Amino acid sequence: MSSQKAHKLRQSILKYNTEMSKLKEELTYSQDANVKYNKLVIKKAICRKELEFEKKNLLQKIMNKLHINHSKEKLICDYFKS
């Protein structure tokens, strides 16, 4: 696992958390804040997915890459835990 990349991903997740906490107060009043909040949720989910991928071992990474190459498109639900 690339510790530098994992560290950057963790920092991004923390940054998104702080931005989201600042926007929570404005969600009921502003549509723009609502849109920004939703974008931050998606970006945070993407970072979490990448961090999870970084934690996998080499064989799992190879298998995952083979699976991704065969899929035609990514769905938004691919970034969220079920």
Distances in Å between the alpha carbon of 11 and those of 6, 57, 63, 73?
A: 9, 22, 27, 28
Q: Are 21 and 42 in contact (CB under 8 A)?
A: no
Q: Are 75 and 30 in contact (CB under 8 A)?
A: no
Per-residue pLDDT of the chain (82 residues), as tens digits, is 467 888 899 999 999 999 999 988 888 888 998 999 999 999 999 999 888 877 776 567 677 777 655 556 777 777 776 5
Q: What is the pTM of this model?
A: 0.64
- The tokens of 62 are what? 């190879």
